[in-house]
Structure 1
Amino acid sequence: HTLLKILSGVFLALTLLNTTFHITRHLGRYTVPCQQRQIIRIILVPTVFAIFSFLSVLSYDASIYLRPLAEIYESIGIPAIFMLYIYYIYPDNHSWREILDQFEAQDKRGDFIAGTNLAWFKRTCVSVFQYPLSKTISSIVEIATQGAGVYCINSLEPRYAHLWCEIINIAAIVLAVPHIVRFERRMKEHIDTKHQPVAKLWTFKGFVFLQFVQLILFGLLNGQTFNPTAYVTFDDLYYGIPATITCIEAWIFTGVFIWSFSSTEYTPGS
């Protein structure tokens, strides 16, 4: 447990350094606030996970309540990248009414956007923005059922809340992410390539996907493939090791984000 505390603390510190440097760079070139606000929200996601993961390593008893809180913030990142794409297409619009009106007919250059219509855009918005709501509800249910002793993270039996929370989470993310991917593909000709929209989407998705898969794998394999030893306790396997891995992943992805969510495109005069 002591080793896990040291490792998670070191990688949290490195993650904070990466994020502080990155945000400072954006704030120093804060020339397009509507876009950069979304970027800052996104690049904070790994850092929030690292902070809550470190706290989880410090206190295994609190761990079951901390991770759902980090996941609530993660759910904000999904709509943030969608909003970022919208502001790439319409950088001068801050009104939803203006954005919706333009989706019916023209882009900012006055060109007709083939295959795009208001109904499709509204469906995309609903699919994307349901994710924070769904995730918040499932996280509240998870915290409440953990406290009541009926969650059971290592079981997928219907009598425990774990199965139903996972179903909600899977359905919500499967509904949201593909709509963002389709939106980017349909609108890519109207997004300047200097913004690296694909790199932004896939690096952010990479972190979210890793957290999702990691949670499922450790939930299924603990007690089956992974078992306590003289040196590794049950709590180390369930809480400490996954949380430490998340801290390491957060450090890696905050470094990658410095490239994919670069501030150089916002340099005055660029």
Structure 2
Amino acid sequence: MGLFHLFGGSSGNDTCPMPSTFKIDAPEPFVSNLSFHRFNMIFSGACTALACLIIFMVQVTHASHYSNPNQQRKIMRISLLIPIYSIVSFLSICFPNAYVYIFAWTDFAQSITLGTFFLLLTEYLSVVVERQDNASKPLQPFQYNEDEDERLDELQWHKKRSVLVFQYPIVSLLLGAVTDITQAAKVYCLESNKTHFAHLWLSIIDYVSLGVAVMAVFRYYAANKSELRQYRVMLKLAAFKLIVILTFVEKIIFQILRSTNVMTPTSKLTYSDVIIGIPMLVICLQMVPLSCLFAYAYRASPYKIRQSDYMPTDSGSQNSAILPPRYYGSVFSPKVWLMMLSPKDVLRAIRYSFSSS
């Protein structure tokens, strides 16, 4: 990994302040006869279990009322971000020496979630367009110019937004692999922002890629705000972005606290407790209220079909305009869960975004 040594100029003798392996338990107990590490595992594990249970109930409710597969499989996939963050944070507490290797992949999970959210917006918009077309009312989903070639401009504008969004999964996948490689080569160094180490450069690339993708989603929503308002998109986006914003802000806060010696190892806290344990504890804890917000923002009630809506009318005929959509399974159907996990729509979106046509 001489590339990062080269960036550091003459600082080739710099060493990472982090130990190569962490001491797990502190000399003195934190609570009763439990070390902080053991206490953290119990408390964070309980928070992780609760957050995962809440999201699982959201998944089950959608699977039980699977009336719109195109939208609901995306919603179910988006809500997976909570369990992923919770479980990875919990595993980082249990195995602090593996933290860098596993937590780097939360960015990739986040990128897939953001891409899926973008696809959900396009799905919502397509429904609105279809309704407007059926009502013979022209709809202009991208109102940014009035040229004669507006339709072509709209498609080009959409594709540009798609490129900006789906570059993030590609970048985060590469960053995850490079992070693991540089960590194994001992040139990553989580606790150093020196140019000698890979951490600084990979963080910059990650933040830029994430910022570009998020701004593209915001612009897409802003251009179609009136059409998407009925789906409460801002609430859904807020529930998703709060995870990213909170973890980013907390990372900065913890770095400041450590740099000012407010958080330092003690007889009850090891280095790994301070660097990894406490930040991961905060993430596990905050996932509980965030899972509740997710459960509200992505609830299945709009997809529940009431039997009375499809009963014959007084004249004896059934309103064909409101016939129930086809059900694609139930909570016990493997197809429902496989559709949620299938990456086909994301892969198609990436191929479309970067195709020459």
In 2, Cα distance between the equivalents of 1:43 and 1:112? 31
In 2, Cα distance between the equivalents of 1:208 and 1:158? 25
Match of 2:182 in 1: 145
Cα distance, 1:56–1:254 mapped onto 2, change above 3 Å: same
* CA apart distance, 1:108: 6.9
* CA apart distance, 1:67: 0.4
Matched, 1:15 2:22: no
Match of 2:19 in 1: none
Matches within 5 A, 1:104-123: 110-113=137-140, 114-115=143-144, 117-123=154-160
Matches within 5 A, 1:1-270: 1-91=37-127, 110-113=137-140, 114-115=143-144, 117-191=154-228, 193=230, 195-225=231-261, 226-269=263-306
CA shift digits 1:102-132 (9 cap, x unpaired): 8xxx877552313271221111000001111
Cα distance, 1:40–1:187 mapped onto 2, change above 3 Å: same
Work out the number of aligned pairs and report it.
258
In 2, Cα distance between the equivalents of 1:21 and 1:63? 29
What is the one-letter code of the residue matched to 2:288? W
Conserved? CA contact 1:203–1:257, under 8 Å:
yes
Conserved? CA contact 1:153–1:219, under 8 Å:
no
> Could you list the runs of 5+ residues in structure 2 that have no partner in the other structure?
1-36, 146-153, 310-357
In 1, Cα distance between the equivalents of 2:260 and 2:202? 21
Conserved? CA contact 2:107–2:172, under 8 Å:
yes
Could you tell me the percent identity over the aligned residues? 31
Q: Which has the larger radius of gyration?
A: 2
* CA apart distance, 1:40: 0.9
Structure number with the higher helix fraction is: 1
CA shift digits 1:1-20 (9 cap, x unpaired): 11111111110110121011
* CA apart distance, 1:144: 0.9
CA shift digits 1:28-73 (9 cap, x unpaired): 1111111111111111101111111111111111112110122211
* CA apart distance, 1:220: 4.9
TM-score, L = length of structure 2: 0.68
> Could you list the runs of 5+ residues in structure 1 that have no partner in the other structure?
93-101
In 2, Cα distance between the equivalents of 1:87 and 1:23? 19
